[in-house]
Chains A and B, each alone.
Chain A
Amino acid sequence: MNAQTQFSGGFQNAPVEAAVAFRAAMTVMARPGVIRPLIGAQPPAPLSIAAGTLLLTLCDPDTNVHLAEGADTEAVRQWLTFHTGAPITAAAEADFAIGSWQALGPLDDYRIGTAEYPDRSATLIVECDALHPSGVELSGPGIRDTAFLSLPDVPAFQANAALYPLGCDFFFTCGDKVAALPRSTQVRTGG
Chain B
Amino acid sequence: MNEYNFAYLDEQTKRMIRRAILKGLAVPGYQVPFASREMPMPYGWGTGGVQVSAATLTPGDTLKVIDQGADDTTNAVSIRKFFENTAGVETTEETEKATVIQTRHRIPEAKLRDDQIIVYQVPIPEPLRFLEPRETETRKMHSLEEYGLMHVKLYEDISRHGAISTAYAYPVKVSGRYVMDPSPIPKFDNPKLEMDAIQLFGAGREQRIYAVPPHTKVVSLDFEDYPFEATKANHPCDLCGANDSYLDEVIMDDAGNRMFVCSDTDFCRSRRAAGYQGRMAREEMQ
A residues apposed to B, CB below 8 Å: 14-16, 18-20, 22-23, 25-27, 29-31, 57-60, 62-63, 95, 115-119, 121, 123, 140-144, 164-165, 169, 182-184
Contacts and interface: CB of A to CB of B under 8 A. Distances in A.
Using C-beta atoms within 8 Å of the partner chain, give the interface range for chain B: 35 or more
B18 A58 contact: yes
Contact of A184 (B28, B56, B58): B28
Contacts of A121: 23
B55 A116 contact: no
Given A23-B58, A30-B211, 17 more contacts: A15-B5, A19-B59, A20-B60, A26-B18, A31-B213, A62-B12, A116-B139, A116-B142, A118-B27, A119-B23, A141-B217, A142-B213, A142-B215, A142-B216, A144-B215, A169-B22, A184-B213
A35 to B, nearest CB: 15
Interface centre among B11, B12, B142 (most CB of A within 10 A): B11
Interface string B137-179: 0011011100000000000000000000000000000010110
B233 interface: no
Contacts, number: 115
Contacts of B215: 141-144
A22 B144 CA distance: 32
Contacts of A164: 27, 177
B192 to A, nearest CB: 16
Contacts of B22: 25-26, 29, 58, 123, 169
A121 B22 CA distance: 11
Interface string B16-55: 1011111111111010110000000000000000000001
A18 B12 CA distance: 11
Contact of B25 (A30, A59, A95): A30
A80 to B, nearest CB: 14
Nearest to B32: A119
Interface of B: 5-7, 11-12, 14-16, 18-28, 30, 32-33, 55-60, 114, 139-140, 142-144, 175, 177-178, 198, 211-217
A65 B60 CA distance: 31
Contacts of B213: 30-31, 141-142, 184
Given A26-B56, A30-B214, A182 B6 contact: no
Nearest to B200: A26
A57 B15 contact: yes
A62 B11 contact: no
Contacts of B57: 19
Closest 7 CB pairs of A and B: A142-B213, A182-B26, A15-B6, A115-B143, A119-B23, A141-B216, A30-B213
A60 B33 CA distance: 18
A142 B177 CA distance: 15
Contacts of A59: 15
A164 B212 CA distance: 16
